Structure 1
C-alpha cells in the first residue's frame, strides 16, 4: 500500500533562499505555460487545426524561448519547471473533461511548492540519515523528525506560513488485525465532531470559532499596513501562522477520530453528505467548514483500506434523525434546535445524535423506512416494503399493492 508522509524541515537562511528560488521558477513556468495554452485556445476558435501543446511541447518551447533569456532558471534543478508544466497540463486535461474549472495563475507567496527528483524507484538517490536529508541541487537539510524510509527518488517541498515541509511516498504493508471487530455507525455534526453508535463521543474543537477574535485583529492589522512594506509582510506571516494552527488542530482531531474508527471496527457506516450544498447555508457555513466533514471522509477512505476495514456510505435521504432507534417509529421532522429525540409512540428519550448514529449502524441497502404519520398513501402510489425488516421489527415487511381507498399509515 502506498502512503505519503509530510515532515517539517529546518533549513538555514541559504537553503530558504534556494527554496524560494525554486518556488519562483516553478511558479513562473506554470504561469507562462498557462498563458500560452489560453492563447492557443483563443486561436482554435478560428482555426481548429492548431493543436493544444502537450507537456513535452511546452517544455521544448520553454527551453528555446524562456530559459535562453532567463539565466536564473539554471540556478535550480531541471525537474522544477518540468513538473510544473506537467501539473499545468494535468489541470487543463481535467478542465477539458469538465471535472474542474480552468487553472488560475499562481501568485507569489501563496501555496509555494516545487518538485525534486533523483535516481529511480529501483535506485533512489534522495537519502537521509534520520536527522538530515540530501536534496538535489540544495544539499543536506535538517529534519524536524525522522522519515520512515532511508531513501526515496522524488519529493515535494512546500511552504505553510513561515515553515517548509517535505512530502514523500513510501510502500507500507497492511498491519495484521486479530480478532473480530464490531460494526459502528457514526453521525457527524456541529455540536460534537462525531457520535458513535457505541456511545463514544468525540468533541468538536471548534478552533476557528475560538480564534476568530484573534484572526479579526490580525486581519485588521494587515489591512492597515502599506502594501509592499516589510511591516505588511510581518503582519501577513503572523496571520498565516494562526490559520496554520487552526488547520493543524482540526486535522489532529480528525486523524485521531478516523484512526480509532478504522483500527477498532470492521465496518464503518457514515452518511453520504453533500458538503458543498451545506455550505450554501450562510448561517451554518462557517461552523460546517470548521468541522472538516470532507476531510473526515477522505481520511476514512484510505485508513479503512490500510486497516482492512470497510466503509459504507449511507443514503443521503435516509432520515436517521427522525426514526426512533428503539421502536422504529418515524416521527415528524425535527428542527436543529431539538437536541433530544422523544418518540411519540413508545416514549423513548435519547440524545438526537446518538439516536441517529444507531439508525445509521442498522442501515442496509433497501431498508424499509416507515412513512410519516401525517402522510397518506393514495391509490396511485407505488408498492412499498422490502424483504428485509428494520432491525427493531420482528417480522419482515412484504411488498403489497395499496388499496383503492386512501389509507393512513
Structure 2
C-alpha cells in the first residue's frame, strides 16, 4: 500500500479525542471491531491453507508445476475473494451486512500488511526482530480497532460530536474545537478515522492533512540543544549558547506503586477467571480489576501528557536537537532499572522529537550509540578511561573542570550538532573513528578470577560459559551507563 504524500506546505497529523458512546453505539463499535478481526482471521486462514496444501502435495512427490497455485495476499486480491464468499461463507453469511464495509477492509488490510512484513523479514529486507508467520487473532486478546477511509467522516460544528459511517453521530468526551476550527478555515482535511478501545474507554483518531502554520517554526532556529536522558533527571537540556535546564523525572508509576500493590493484593484474594476450567470471574473480582486498571490508565495518561509537553517545548524552541541512540530494549533487561526506565519513556521521547522537528522545520541529530558523552570533557575534549555509575560529578584530569555528570553529557551532545554539520573531527562525526579509551578490541582476555577457576591453565584460557558470562556483564554495564548518563 502506497504511503500518502501530503501537499506542499502540509503535514499529516493525527488528532485523538475520547468518545462517550451510549449503550447502542458501544455495541456497534464492538461489532465493527469484531468484524475487522473476523476478516483478518479469514484472510490468514485462506492464504495459509494454500501453503499447507502445497507442502502436503510436495511430500507425495508431486512436481512443482502441478502443485496448488500460491494464493495472493495483496489487499485488492483479498478484497475481491472476500466479496465473493462473504454471502455464502457460514462465518459471515448471517451478519456481514450489519457493519460497514470499512470494518472488513480494515481486517484485510492488516492481513496484507502482516504477510508483507513476514515476506520481507524472511528475505532479510526488514530491520529489527524476525517476523513470524501471521497467526489468527484471539477474541479474548485482540485489540478492538477499526479504520474508516470512505463514507461520512466529519466533525460536527457544535464541537462535541463526530459522525462516522454506519455508527452515526457520537458524542465526544472533550471538545473538538482544535480540529473543527481548522476545518472551518480550510487549513485541514480529514483523511481517515480510526476508533479504538484502550485504557478503559473509546477513542477516535483522525488522520488529518494540516497546513503548516508560519508561526510553528522554532523560536530559536539557529540554536542547537543536546538532550541527555536519565532516571534521576528525566532530561538535561543544554544549548549551544551555554544555557542548561534540568527536567526532573515525575516518576508517575513510582508515585502510584503503593496504591497498585494494595489493589493487586485485594484482586488476588477474589475469584478470577480461569479459561482452563471455564470458571467465570466473580462480580467482586470485576469491580476490583476495574479499580486497579483505572490507576494504571491514569499513570499512562499522566506519562503521555508529560512527555508531549516536554518534547513540544524542546522542538518549539530549538532548531536542532541532538538525542542519543539508546539501546532501550537492552537496558530493560537490567532488573534493577527496568521499571524506572520503562516509566521514563526514553524511546517515546526520541520518537516524538523526531517527528515534531519535522513540523517546525528543525533537524534531529542522533548521536552514535557508543559516543562517550558522559566520559568526554565538555571544556577540553579529554576522554576518561572509566567513569563508574555512582560518580555523579565529572572531574577532568586535564583541565580540572568540575561539573555535574549529566550536564557535561548534555553539553557534549549540544556541541555534536555543529560537529556533525561542519565536520570538526569530534567523536561521533561521520567517518571519524570513535576513541577506545580502554584499548578495547574483540579479544576476550582471562581475568584473575577466571585464571583461578581454570587452575592456572596455560595462557589463562577461559571456559566457554565463562567467556559468555563476561561478555554479558560487559554489555550490561555499558547499557546501564547509557541509561544513567
State TM-score, norm by structure 2. 0.70
Separation in 2 of the partners of 1:260 and 1:108?
A: 40
1:233-268 CA-to-partner distances (Å, cap 9, x unmatched) read: 434433332222222111111111111111111111
Task: Tell me the CA shift for residue 320 of structure 1.
Answer: 0.5
Please say if 1:141 is aligned against 2:187. no
Task: Identify which of 226, 243, 247 aligns with 1:202.
Answer: 247
User: Which of 84, 94, 97 is the matching residue for 2:117?
Assistant: 94
- Residue 187 of structure 1 is aligned with which of 228, 240, 265? 228
Q: 1:24, 1:108 within 8 Å by CA — same for their partners in 2?
A: no
Does residue 19 in structure 1 map to residue 26 in structure 2?
no
1:400 maps to: none
Q: 2:345 aligns with which of 292, 301, 304?
A: 292
Counterpart-to-counterpart distance in 2, 1:146 and 1:28: 32
Are 2:61 and 1:51 aligned?
no
Gaps of 5+ in 2: 1-10, 59-66, 184-188, 274-279, 428-433, 442-485
**Bigger shift: residues 358-367 or 154-163:** 358-367
The alpha-carbon deviation at position 139 of structure 1 amounts to 1.3
Deviations along 1:323-366, whole A, 9 cap, x unmatched? 11122221232122211112223222111110000011112246
Alignment of 1:6-405 (within 5 A): 6-46=16-56, 49-54=68-73, 55-68=75-88, 69=90, 70=92, 71-98=94-121, 99=126, 100-104=131-135, 105-108=137-140, 110-119=142-151, 125-129=153-157, 130-143=159-172, 144-146=174-176, 148-149=179-180, 150=183, 152=190, 154-176=192-214, 177=217, 180-197=221-238, 198-223=243-268, 224-227=270-273, 228-229=280-281, 230-363=283-416, 364-365=419-420, 367-369=425-427
Q: CA deviation at 1:27?
A: 1.8
Q: CA deviation at 1:216?
A: 3.5
Shift of 1:15: 0.9
Match of 2:12 in 1: 2
How far residue 109 of structure 1 moved from its aligned partner, in angstroms, is 5.8
Provide the C-alpha distance between the structure 2 equivalents of 1:222 and 1:64, rounded to a whole number of angstroms. 48
Contact 2:220 2:317 survives alignment (8 Å): no
CA distance in 2, matches of 1:376, 1:61: 59
State the SS of the aligned residue for 1:159. strand
CA-based RMSD of the aligned residues comes to: 2.6
Would you say the 8 A contact 2:190–2:209 is kept in 1? no
CA displacement at 1:220 relative to structure 2: 4.1
Match of 1:392 in 2: none
1:261 to 1:11, Cα distance in 2 relative to 1, 3 A: same
CA distance in 2 between counterparts of 1:16 and 1:93 reads 32
Shift of 1:156: 0.6
- Which structure shows the higher helix fraction? 2
Comparing 58-67 with 160-169, which one deviates more in the overlay?
A: 58-67
Structure 2 vs 1, CA of residues 326 and 134 (structure 1 numbering), >3 Å: closer, same or farther?
Answer: same
Q: Distance in 1 between matches of 2:380 and 2:302?
A: 39
Count of residue pairs the alignment pairs up: 373
What whole-Å deviation, never above 9, does each CA across 1:362-381 have from its counterpart, x for those lacking one?
A: 1224634495777599xxxx
Instruction: List, as ranges, runs of 4+ consecutive aligned residues in structure 1 with deviation greater than 6 Å.
Output: none
Structure 1 spans left out of the alignment, 5+ residues:
378-409
The CA distance in 2 between the partners of 1:214 and 1:35, in whole Å, is 44
Quick check: 2:224–2:318 contact (8 Å CA) kept in 1? Answer: yes
In structure 2, relative to structure 1, the CA distance for the partners of 1:2 and 1:372 (3 Å cut) is closer
Aligned to 2:3: none
The question of whether the paired residues in 2 share the 8 Å contact of 1:30 and 1:85 is answered with yes
The match for 1:402 is none
Partner SS for 1:23: helix
Tell me the residue number matched to 2:457. none
C-alpha change, 1:361 and 1:152, in structure 2 (3 Å) is closer
Partner residue in 1 for 2:475: none
Change (3 A) 1:305 1:374: closer
